[in-house]
Amino acid sequence: MKNMLRTLALSVLLAGPALAQAPPGLTESERKAGAEAHPQILQQFGGAMSGPVADYVRSVGQKIAVQSGGGARATDYNVTLLNSNVNNAFAIPGGYVYITRQLLALMNDEAELAFVMGHEVAHVAARHGQKRQNRAALSNVLAGVAGVLTGSDLIGRGAGLVAGLTTLGYSREQERQADSLGVRYLVSAGYDPNAGTDSLAALGAQTALEARLKGQGGAEPSKWLSTHPPSGERVARMRTEAQALAPRAGKTLNRDAFLNAIDGMIYDDDPAEGVVVGNGFRHGGLALALDAPQGFAITNSPQAVTGTGPGNLKFDLRAADARTSDLNAIASARWQQLGVSAQPMRATRINGVEALEGSIRAGSQGGPVEATLTVYRWSPQLALTLVSIAPQGQGGSVAPVAASVRKMTPQEIAGIRSRRVTVVRVGPKDTLQGLADRMAYSDDRMARFLTLNQLDANAQLKAGDRVKLVTLR
């Protein structure tokens, strides 16, 4: 969850977005639309990363961009590494191309990164955004995904989460075209065209793993959002195209340069935005601790901390500006965001923190639910709002979340650690199991290790090989 003070500071920057040079052939309206959307995307996706890894990603993206033809120059494209724990890459009109650090970590060499960048550059160069969407539609995408908690009108109108934004409504045919162009860009730049197949296979495997870890089974749940062709189909088609191009293609992978660039990069949650620890959430900057009952899956995004538990239990915690509003006004505004009129609130204290509580019963697609709103006065500048949802009569099953919100001690804050990508060389006695055991997780270490490194369960490691781990630092 984004630090509220950072959000307030960022709002000043949103007033005047900088205009980037647009790729040749794009219209003034496309250029302007991209420039206006860019700072909003940065806000929604954790901001732009800086430093050597961001510079490296930019250089690879711009190297590929000049392969798109039409007199394209490297500086025509604004390539951004986003500080987001979502596996994603996307582009918007005007030459703005994005990749998240989480997806970057899933790649295994520079050629795979170049394909992802080439796929997104192709969307811009082929003007897919202009063909599918106008500026109003772009604004609608940024507005968020409705129905995040229950699918009911009660919650849907207040959701506002945009972690799934990427495709701007591209058709499947446009996605196929972007794949094909991306592979051709690889060849033009001297990379191995098989990297396109490898990167798509990696994304499909990671998507399936995440679905299984969330209890959704091993099937791919979203086909890389709804408009992308299924990963299996894409992999097979891209393999055929790569084979056709192989006779005149280079073999550059630049694996060592890539691994050197991402070594030490944050993985999963950024501690500055808070971290999920088991069934809890910890934010050192806000001294905030929250714990959910066993069985809840917690997700941290720049906008909110959300949780889903057994039996359709939900919660959503987010920040509110308390500098000019009292708790009752904040509660009324939150109820309004949820699409209902303000409800009576009861004053209380939770773990020593001043708070208000109120509840309502409403209908949803899954039947009647109970919604409880808890508003905490966290500081003179900041309030927290927690919406808890449960099927009617089961509100007590999610109530422990609201009761768990508390201030952390200095010792607890000092103990927060981050997961990082750690690149290691395989030793002569290392095994798959031994390396997997070093992954900083309590579950499915082997599956996580194999997926991160695009290895199968029967892979033979050689001493001196370099592999990626996720470790605590």
CATH number at residue 353: 3.40.1000.10
What pLDDT score does 203 carry? 86
For residues 293-300, average pLDDT: 92
Q: Which of 223, 242, 267 is the last residue of a domain?
A: 267
Asked if the structure places residue 141 within a domain, the reply is no
Asked if the structure places residue 330 within a domain, the reply is yes
Asked if the structure places residue 34 within a domain, the reply is yes
Statement: residue 77 has pLDDT above 70? yes
Q: Give the burial class of 416: count Cβ atoms within 10 A of its Cβ; 0-12 exposed, 13-18 middle, 19 or more buried.
A: middle
Are 299 and 333 found together in one domain? yes
Confidence of residue 229 (pLDDT cuts 50, 70, 90): low
Are 361 and 252 found together in one domain? no
Contact present, 52 and 61 (Cβ < 8 Å): no
Statement: residue 158 has pLDDT above 80? no
Are 431 and 406 found together in one domain? no
Are 359 and 319 found together in one domain? yes
Cα(287)–Cα(438) distance, integer angstroms: 29
What pLDDT score does 23 carry? 63
Contact present, 436 and 448 (Cβ < 8 Å): yes
CATH of the domain at 437: 3.10.350
Lowest mean pLDDT among 65-69, 123-127, 139-143, 274-278: 139-143
Virtual torsion, Cα 81, 85, 89, 92, nearest 10 deg: -70
For residues 398-426, average pLDDT: 97
What pLDDT score does 124 carry? 86
Lowest mean pLDDT among 51-65, 228-242, 426-440: 228-242
Statement: residue 452 has pLDDT above 90? yes
Q: What percent of the chain has pLDDT over 70?
A: 82
Asked if the structure places residue 140 within a domain, the reply is no
Confidence of residue 187 (pLDDT cuts 50, 70, 90): very high
Are 397 and 453 found together in one domain? no
Are 365 and 449 found together in one domain? no
Cα(466)–Cα(453) distance, integer angstroms: 10
Statement: residue 62 has pLDDT above 80? yes
Per-chain mean pLDDT for the chain: 84
Confidence of residue 173 (pLDDT cuts 50, 70, 90): confident
* Parallel/antiparallel/unpaired status of strands 96-100 and 78-82: parallel
Statement: residue 12 has pLDDT above 50? no
What pLDDT score does 30 carry? 77
Cα(401)–Cα(270) distance, integer angstroms: 22
Among 105-119, 225-239, 292-306, 359-373, which range has the highest average pLDDT? 105-119
Asked if the structure places residue 113 within a domain, the reply is yes
Task: Please write the tens of the pLDDT for every residue from 308-333.
Answer: 999 999 999 999 999 989 999 999 99
Question: What is the three-state SS of the chain?
Answer: CCCHHHHHHHHHHCCCCCCCCCCCCCCHHHHHHHHHHHHHHHHHCCCECCCHHHHHHHHHHHHHHHHHCCCCCHHHCEEEEECCCCCCEEEECCCEEEEEHHHHHHCCCHHHHHHHHHHHHHHHHCCHHHHHCCHHHHHHHHHCECCCCCCCHHHHCCCCECCCCCCCCCCHHHHHHHHHHHHHHHHHCCECCCHHHHHHHHHHHHHHHHHHHCCCCCCCCCCCCCCCCCHHHHHHHHHHHHHHHHHHCCCECCHHHHHHHHCCCEECCCHHHCEEECCEEEECCCCEEEECCCCCEEEECCCCEEEEECCCEEEEEEEEECCCCCHHHHHHHHHHHCCCCCCCCEEEEECCEEEEEEEEEECCCCCCEEEEEEEEECCCCEEEEEEEEEECCCHHHCHHHHHHCEECCHHHHHCCCCEEEEEEECCCCCCHHHHHCCCCCCCCHHHHHHHHCCCCCCCCCCCCCEEEEEEEC
Cα(249)–Cα(429) distance, integer angstroms: 37
Cα(198)–Cα(342) distance, integer angstroms: 52
Q: Which residue has the higher pLDDT, 155 or 113?
A: 113
Which amino acid appears at position 442 of this protein? Answer: S
Six-digit token pair at 5? 């003070």
Are 74 and 216 found together in one domain? yes
Neighbour tally for 473: CB within 10 Å: 10
Asked if the structure places residue 146 within a domain, the reply is no
What pLDDT score does 125 carry? 85
Asked if the structure places residue 374 within a domain, the reply is yes
Q: Which of 380, 414, 448 is the last residue of a domain?
A: 414
Contact present, 350 and 376 (Cβ < 8 Å): yes
Are 205 and 312 found together in one domain? no
- Which residue segment(s) compose the domain that 278 sits in? 271-414
Statement: residue 241 has pLDDT above 50? yes
For residues 122-150, average pLDDT: 52
Asked if the structure places residue 52 within a domain, the reply is yes
- For 345-373, give one letter per residue: b (16+ CB within 10 A) or e: beeeebeeeebbbbebebebeeeebbbbb
Q: Which residue has the higher pLDDT, 1 or 122?
A: 122
Are 307 and 263 found together in one domain? no
Confidence of residue 25 (pLDDT cuts 50, 70, 90): low
Q: Give the burial class of 398: count Cβ atoms within 10 A of its Cβ; 0-12 exposed, 13-18 middle, 19 or more buried.
A: buried
Q: Which of 247, 267, 287 is the last residue of a domain?
A: 267
Taking the model in full, what pTM does it have?
0.81
Statement: residue 223 has pLDDT above 90? no
Are 430 and 328 found together in one domain? no
Contact present, 93 and 244 (Cβ < 8 Å): no
Are 13 and 120 found together in one domain? yes
Are 50 and 185 found together in one domain? yes
User: Count of alpha carbons within 13 Å of 328, Cβ hemisphere only?
Assistant: 4
Domain count, the chain: 3
